[in-house]
Structure 1
Amino acid sequence: MASNSSENGSHPKKPKLNHQQINEQTLISPSEIAAEFSHHDPTIARINNGSFGCCPSAVIAAQRRWQLLFLRQPDLFYFSLLRPGIDSSRRLLLPLINASRLDEISLVDNATTATAVVLQYVSRAFSERRFSPGDAAVMLHYAYGSVKKSVHAYVTRAGGHVIEVPLPFPVFDSGEIVREFRNALNLAKLENRRVRLAVIDHITSMPCVVLPVKELVKICREESVDQVFVDGAHAIGCLKIDMEEIGADFYTSNLHKWFFCPPSVAFLYCRKKERKEQEEGVEYDDVHHPVVSHEYGNGLPVESAWIGTRDYSSQLVVPEVLEFVSRFEGGIEGIMKRNHDKVIEIGEMLAKAWGTQLGCSPEMCASMVMVGLPTCLGIQSDDNVMKLRTHFREKFGVEVPIYFRPPKDGEIGCVTGYARISHQIYNTVDDYYKFRDAVNQLVQDGFTCAELYG
């Protein structure tokens, strides 16, 4: 494929996403929102957007057009349409995340693939002796499960050492998180380990908490951590993200969770090294897609744009996503603010109804919130919460993930189960009333999780 001459150029003018001057008659109506998501199962209260996201019919139709273009004339699609289409999506993302260069952004399948890209880079550094045996990678205890397994698979097997940062939950002060993170870096110092990689969540998955990533990245710079990878799987479309402000070396976020793309697609940002870093031998450019194909060696954005015959359509519909969100007051920023405000209002309503509490302060939430479940439900293990989740789905028609928070030493009668509540534009208050009433029914019936094992 021909290279794109704009890869190293400055990014295009930022599109106006706040749309404050849109005439009210052009804004999407509640009935039109319902029509866009009419493919959702109407019997299910879907309050779990955080797991798999959602995609409106307008974007699904655009995806289908791309799929038919491929099926109609594959050679034309692959050799003439695919690369320009992916580049168009990348250009539109550039100002949304405030990255300085187009060649810093690649599109990959999901955040898990992006994690593999970064960790394979780190693993090669160990195998090529740029990193020494016993050098450390630091990650959060609440890192996403597949990310934790990837860190161990790539770093530990390459001779590195993994340090997990224990985080408090419930948590109402970001300072607690900062202190624990500093403690982990100090532990590495005490053990005479050089920290080569820090993996930091922007929004932890379970339990969900917005972390102070800018401050944590700043600490990493102060402590000479070589590489910082921010896993922002939930971030884009959920809260504002700014690559220049955050300052990480790598950042990934799924576009199919909160940004309305069909599954699955994520962007991976790889910061380009400065001249000083080049002189010091920092090898940021040795980053490759885990699937080696014809474009290997031409840079990650190009490698990722052709990894064999597959369905690329989810990577090609960013223009239609931006057209969709422009129909809402305030565009994507307006959607994010309304989702945040609504999920906090709903979370507080549920906590009051059950006599419990939220799992963190409102400013540490985005479009998801953790709400304590009544202690009388007898939640005592991870297996309990998986079975209880299935029970809510099958008996009450509610789809919601649940987190088990083990009691600390000496704790008696504490909340051990938290529901992760999401709010997205398709949700109505009846979805949450349905969940509230289901929990109240279980309490009224004297139900405990022990009954799920009958």
Structure 2
Amino acid sequence: MGEIRRSHGEDPEDDHHHKKPKLSPFITQSQIQQEFAHHQQGVARLNNGSFGSCPGSIIASQKRWQLKFLQQPDDFFFNQLPTQILRSRTLIKDLINADDVSEVSLVDNATTAAAIVLQHVGWAFAEGRFHKGDAVVMLHCAFQAVKKSIEAYVTRAGGSVIVVQLPFPIHSNEEIISEFRKGLARGKANGRKVRLAIIDHITSMPSVIIPVRELVRICREEGVSEVFVDAAHAVGSVSVDVKDIGADFYVSNLHKWFFSPPSVALLYCRKSSLSSELHHPVVSHEYGNGLAIESAWIGTRDYSSQLLVPEVLDFINRFEGGIEGIRNKNHNAVVEMGEMLAKAWGTSLGSPPEMCPSMAMVGLPSCLGVLSDTDASRLRDHLRDEFSVEVPIHYQPLKDEVGARDEGGGFITGYARISHQVYNTIDDYIKFRDAVNQLLHDGFDCKMLGRE
């Protein structure tokens, strides 16, 4: 497969030439390895996208915050907690370019944020502000928890749901924009109104960067009442400017690509929206004091993840270029590794490089026989159990016999979603490459694992 460059996985301090190494103020590869030494040894961890990874220094800081609570809970809750959460919210305001700190709330995760927004929409249907049958438009690859929240809050209150099917593999933003326009048109049919559009910034599975700014603009042109951007994977993976994006609500996890420990997410609610009508689904004595305050006190729980934003930013700024430098490095590396794997297996990426965040969808050879979601799940387990490779597998059903083909002429119906984070090295991807090559050599087919 040719020589593989090791530039993104090697420590310049390991150079054995006689030149004196230059001292750098930035974190070294050996220090990165120390920060993530708690990872299970020997596992090719190619799934940062699901749960992220918290460095050791941040874990230590979290323990200090937890100890502060245990040492003097009353002082912590009444004097330290409000101040420190406000500090984190202020830093996030600048990070995402919000106008005011009041627009930023900290919640557990994107699932909680979706419940907050969809509860608000459900009340609008139940109270008659939205008419029965008016529509919510979402992408078919929306996160399952978002779909369940729509079911729990919106459809039972009388709202209808329009699902926009996006093509995959995908070749351009225009394909997404075209299908989204069709979905809005269906939502507005027969005199209905589209009350909410839910747009992913980065779809989870398959993983693709969505032209979110353009879709929000189209929503405004088409009179959509409110726009909610589910950006669970965004902060730390792509650039985020909420004013430029223009949505009413924007959520992003901080424990996926921002190095925070689970679980913490930001929920941005634009001031000009009906943000005063949003409430946390867990009602505390702060109810009615604004979503940010409600979310900052929902009973006795561990708030330490929400307090660590300053420490996480300090960690990020140890890298050359800060958060932008990390994003660029991860994007370039995941594309390079994805193309290496696709070349080795005679397949292709599921989207152009510019539509890949810090993740990439890599086609698997058709002869592996990924022909269902069950096959994908079992292949993932097999790779973990037999080869110590942790990577999500996606089943992509064919539609009208249209899809990408591998070098053998078979349709690609299985894709691996690989991630790249600062702790990854080229050896992780070589291990995955060799595991699949071994399966191919052994004549492996998913039916060997049994099908229900």
TM-score, normalized by length of structure 2? 0.93
Where do residues 93-242 of structure 1 align in structure 2 (5 Å cutoff)? 93-242=92-241
Amino acid at match of 2:40: D
SS in structure 2 at match of 1:168: coil
1:107-159 Cα deviation digits (max 9, x unpaired):
00000000000000001111111001001000000111111111122110000
Unaligned runs of 5+ in 2: 1-21, 403-408
1:25: Cα distance to partner?
Answer: 2.4
Q: Over residues 78-133 of structure 1, what are the superposed CA-to-partner deviations in whole Å (9 max), with x where a residue is unaligned?
A: 00100111111111111110000100000000000000000000011111110010
Q: Which residue is equivalent to 1:11?
A: none
Q: Which amino acid aligns with 1:126?
A: F
Q: CA deviation at 1:36?
A: 0.2
Amino acid at match of 1:291: V
Letter aligned with residue 345 of structure 1: E
Give the aligned residue type for 2:412.
V
Report how far residue 283 of structure 1 moved.
3.4
Deviates more, 1:24-33 or 1:413-422: 24-33
Out of 63-72 and 150-159, give the one that drifted further. Answer: 150-159
- 8 A contact 2:367–2:410 mirrored in 1: no
| Per-residue deviation, residues 361-403 of structure 1 (Å, max 9, x unmatched) | 0110110000000000011100000011000000000000010
Q: Aligned to 2:320, which of 325, 329, 336?
A: 329
Task: Give the drift of 1:207.
Answer: 0.1
Structure 1 residue 246 corresponds to structure 2 residue 235: no
Deviation at 1:26, TM superposition (A): 1.6
For the Cα contact (< 8 Å) 1:385–1:404, is it kept in 2?
Answer: yes
Aligned to 1:77: 76
TM-superposed deviation, 1:324: 0.4
Q: What is the aligned partner in structure 2 of residue 48 from structure 1? A: 47
Post-superposition offset of 1:210: 0.1
Aligned residues of 2:135 and 2:196 also touching (Cα < 8 A): yes
Q: Give the match's secondary structure for 1:285.
A: helix
Residue identity over aligned pairs, in percent, reads: 63
Shift of 1:170: 0.3
CA RMSD of aligned residues (A): 1.1
Tell me what 2:377 maps to: 386
CA separation of 1:132 and 1:363: change in aligned 2, threshold 3 A: same
Once residues 257 and 410 of structure 1 are traced to their aligned partners in structure 2, the CA distance between those partners, rounded to angstroms, is: 35
Task: Determine helix, strand or coil for the equivalent of 2:339.
Answer: helix
Equivalence for 1:358:
349
Residue deviations 1:261-294 (CA, integer Å, cap 9, x gap): 0000000000011xxxxxxxx7331000010001
CA distance in 2, matches of 1:140, 1:64: 39
* Counterpart residue identity of residue 77, structure 1: F
Inter-partner Cα distance in structure 1 for 2:44 and 2:337: 14
Describe how 1:224-303 pairs up with structure 2 within 5 A.
Answer: 224-273=223-272, 283-303=274-294
Residue pair 1:293, 1:308 contacting (<8 A) in 2 also = yes
Aligned partners of 2:399, 2:437: CA distance in 1, in Å?
27
Specify the code of the residue in structure 2 equivalent to 1:284: S
Question: Aligned partners of 1:346 and 1:355: how far apart in 2?
Answer: 14
Given that 1:152 and 1:162 are in contact with CA atoms closer than 8 Å, whether structure 2 keeps it comes out as no
Q: One-letter code of the match for 2:147?
A: K
Match of 1:304 in 2: 295
Match of 2:89 in 1: 90
Q: Which residue identity is paired with 1:138?
A: V
Corresponding residue for residue 7 of structure 2 = none
3-state SS of 1:137 partner: strand
Letter in 2 for 1:298: N
1:174 deviation in Å?
0.6
2:416 matched to 1:419? yes
The partner residue of 1:374 within 359, 365, 373 is 365
Distance, in Å, in 1 between the alignment partners of 2:105 and 2:274 is: 18
SS in 2 for 1:240: coil
Q: Which consecutive residues of structure 1, in runs of 5 or more, have no partner in the other structure? A: 1-22, 274-281
Which residue of 1 is the match for residue 393 of structure 2? 402
Distance of 2:245 and 2:271 partners within structure 1? 14
- With structure 1 as the length reference, what TM-score do the two structures score? 0.92
1:26 match: secondary structure: coil
- 1:295 CA displacement: 0.5
Residue aligning to 2:9: none
Using the alignment, how far apart are the partners of 1:183 and 1:65 within structure 2?
52
> Does the 8 A contact of 1:125 with 1:131 survive in 2?
yes
User: Structure 1 residues 150-159 or 335-344, which shifts more?
Assistant: 150-159
Per-residue deviation, 1:442: 0.2
> Aligned AA for 1:283?
L
Q: How far did 1:24 drift?
A: 5.2
**Mapped contact 2:48–2:256 kept (Cα < 8 A):** yes
